[in-house]
Amino acid sequence: MSKLICLIIFISFILISQPSQALTKCYKDICVGQKVLIVEGIYKGNIGRIVDILPVSTPDEDEQEIRDFYSYYVSFSDGTTIELYRQALEEE
């Protein structure tokens, strides 16, 4: 019984001690978790943090014109989260 417990502890230790790699979601020069300055709209001049970056679906006929169209979800210190586009953001 004690050998089984030792084996389980040993295997658990090996599994836990394996290095893990964090995945960062980025699009071009802005990544999730990065602080940005809002340069357009109601929130102009505020600093927020990127929460998520999602592609915006475009109709098939507009696909050639709009290739890199992503929406950026920005969170502020008061908990407000808004959706903005790249032209409204500037890296801090």
More confident residue, 16 or 81: 81
Q: Which CATH class is domain 22-91?
A: mainly beta
Q: Which residues contact 73 (CB under 8 A, 6 or more apart)?
A: 50, 51, 52, 53, 54, 81, 82, 83, 84
Query: What's the rounded mean pLDDT across residues 50-59?
Result: 82
Query: If pLDDT is split at 50, 70 and 90, which confidence band does 62 have?
Result: low
Q: Could you say which DSSP state residue 20 is in?
A: -
* Residue entry with tokens 């340069």: 39
pLDDT digits (tens, 9 = 90+) for 31-48: 898 999 999 889 999 999
